[in-house]
Amino acid sequence: MTGTDLRNWRLKWGVRQRELARMLGTHAVTVNRWERGTRGIPFLLPLALEALENRLKAGGN
């Protein structure tokens, strides 16, 4: 997953960086750095995003 992939995922689901950070238990600055490519994306992030998709589809935060 690249920073662009992450940004596209976030925009597709209408989630702000701050909201995504809260859902993942991290900081908005970290999400921003992942998206800009200045910090490596954890290899398990795609799995976490898949779980969040299921929550979002169900209408939960």
Q: How far is CA 45 from CA 2, 24, 34, in A?
A: 11, 9, 11
pLDDT band for position 61 (cuts 50, 70, 90): low
Q: How far apart are CA 10 and CA 16, in angstroms?
A: 7
Tokens 């994306």 sit on residue: 41
Task: Check residue 59 and give its pLDDT.
Answer: 83
How do residues 2-16 score in pLDDT, each as one tens digit?
999 999 999 999 999
Q: How far apart are CA 28 and CA 34, in angstroms?
A: 10
Count other Cβ atoms within 10 Å, centred on residue 53: 13
Name which residue leads in pLDDT, 9 or 59. Answer: 9
**What average pLDDT does the segment 15-20 reach?**
97
Tokens 């970290």 sit on residue: 30
How do residues 45-54 score in pLDDT, each as one tens digit?
999 999 999 9
* Domains within the chain, CATH numbers bracketed: 3-57 (1.10.260.40)
